[in-house]
Structure 1
Amino acid sequence: MKKISVGLADDHPVILLGVSQVLTEHPDIDVRFSCATIGELFQHLLETPVNVLLCDFEFADDPQADGLDLLKRIKRVAPNTKVLILSSHTGSHIVSTSLAAGASGFIGKARSDCAGLPQAIRDVQSGNIYLPPPIASALLSNIFQGPDKAGGLSALSEKESIVARMTCDGFSISEIAARLHRSPKTVSNQKGAAMRKLGARNDVELASIVRELKSD
């Protein structure tokens, strides 16, 4: 039996431990390395090439880079390694742009998702794209329903756009309200409207979507 060599990268030790335990139970999967920092990841990729890299979308020690930038760097260093993204941020925009940037699959961090990791690794090693049913369903729904974010930032009103950009720059609702001379409730409503239109479920997804649309 030819084993699939796998590398693990996540800045949460508990996740690394749990994933390692799941994968070591499968004789066709060989975990070659496990790391928690960007520096360790790139060192391992250069010294210990693997078939599949199971990698978090963002790392705390790499604050200047979003997940897409990290993915592009990984593909430059290890172009033959298939990257399976492991992330708690599974918004349709993040998933679709990750696949477009070269990811071979995307899987969440819920316990039920981890149970599907061995098959996910086998699928991407075989040249297929892997998406768990809930993520695949949301992605297809997003495509066929033609969401507002397809129109980019132009889908937002001027006030919503300003609030979204300031949120991505790290300003809190109270800080935005003070700077724009609006009430915190008004700013909160405008931020919520922007997130709904762009399909973002939290500030991390909002920042990723805005950065991607600004670079288009």
Structure 2
Amino acid sequence: MHTSAPMRAIQLVQCDKDLEQAISGEIQERQLEVVTFESVDEFRRRFQTSPFRNDCILLESRSSSSLDLTSLIEVRRMAPAGAVILLTTNCSHANLMTALRCGATDVINGPVDAVTLFQRLDDYFESRPPKTFRIDRPQAIAGIASLTRCEREVLQLVLAAMTTQQISRSLHVGPQTVAKHKQQILRKLGVRNDVELVLEIVGNQTQTDHFSGLS
């Protein structure tokens, strides 16, 4: 028998049907309210028109080459309280730390089973008060929403602590193209450099040396 946790609702964002099936029994046993969203865009549209309780959000990363950090940032911006669990199959230790700094409550790397997932959720709700994660500056909020697909790809690789050259190789584009995308990202979010960009996203970390190799 599981330990009762103060969780009444759960949202599944861009999660595949296999995951829904795997956790359906535990959801029914706990009598949780469940809402599913095919994409982050759908989550944003429905949340803006009719905000809902967000005790826990399961967000599945759809990127096969890196963590889907821009989706995480967007979801966490709209739902600053409660748990956001990022589900992925491709997560290095460095990416894990970046995801946690970007607002993930936890990252599950690999196949997800109901017992493991809800045990970790129970531990979270019973041992720690909910954290609030916010991007407060209006320009940063609007800037994230206005990023193009290419700019979002570059942003998530910047957040993963990749250099311009590394991003260039990963996306198969020239360094000058990467630099132009980064300039547009900085302009839209109203920051001056990569370090300020990361600090803006992750909530004003006090130790900037971790990000000194970004540019």
TM-score (norm 2): 0.52
Q: Which amino acid aligns with 2:120?
A: A
- Which digits, 9 at most, give the CA deviation of each residue in 1:147-184, with x for residues without a partner? xxxxx768xxxxxx85x44431237xxxxxxxxxxxxx
Could you say which structure has the higher helix fraction? 1
- Alignment-derived partner of residue 187 in structure 1: none
Tell me, yes or no, if the aligned pair for 1:85 and 1:105 is still in contact at 8 Å.
yes
Tell me, yes or no, if the aligned pair for 1:105 and 1:124 is still in contact at 8 Å.
no
Max Rg structure: 1
2:76 matched to 1:72? no
Question: What 5-or-longer segments of structure 2 have no aligned partner?
Answer: 130-160, 174-210
The one of 5, 29, 45 aligned to 1:26: 29
Q: Distance in 1 between matches of 2:101 and 2:33?
A: 26
Aligned length: 140
- Alignment-derived partner of residue 105 in structure 2: 104
- Alignment-derived partner of residue 84 in structure 2: 83
Question: What 5-or-longer segments of structure 1 have no aligned partner?
Answer: 130-151, 155-160, 172-211
Tell me, yes or no, if the aligned pair for 1:85 and 1:103 is still in contact at 8 Å.
yes
Q: Which amino acid aligns with 2:122?
A: R
Give 1:114 shift: 4.0
Query: What does residue range 64-213 of structure 1 map to in structure 2 within 5 Å?
Result: 67-111=68-112, 113-126=113-126, 128=128, 162=165, 164-170=166-172
- Partner SS, residue 9 of structure 2: strand
Q: Percent identity?
A: 14
Alpha carbons of structure 1 residues 31 and 22: separation in structure 2 relative to 1, 3 Å: same
Give 1:85 shift: 0.9
Q: What is the RMSD computed on CA atoms of the aligned residues?
A: 3.5
Give 1:53 shift: 0.5
Higher relative contact order (CA 8 A, sep 6+): 2
- Which digits, 9 at most, give the CA deviation of each residue in 1:126-163, with x for residues without a partner? 3549xxxxxxxxxxxxxxxxxxxxxx768xxxxxx85x
Q: Distance in 2 between matches of 1:41 and 1:59?
A: 18
TM-score (norm 1): 0.52
Give 1:22 shift: 4.1
- Partner SS, residue 85 of structure 1: strand
- Partner SS, residue 26 of structure 1: helix
Give 1:87 shift: 1.1
Tell me, yes or no, if the aligned pair for 1:51 and 1:82 is still in contact at 8 Å.
yes
- Which digits, 9 at most, give the CA deviation of each residue in 1:85-140, with x for residues without a partner? 111122111111111112111113415x44311112222333549xxxxxxxxxxx
Which 4+ residue blocks in structure 1 deviate beyond 6 angstroms?
none
- Alignment-derived partner of residue 183 in structure 1: none
Q: Which amino acid aligns with 1:14?
A: D
Query: What does residue range 8-47 of structure 1 map to in structure 2 within 5 Å?
Result: 8-19=12-23, 21-27=24-30, 30-46=32-48, 47=50
2:55 matched to 1:54? no
Alpha carbons of structure 1 residues 59 and 11: separation in structure 2 relative to 1, 3 Å: farther
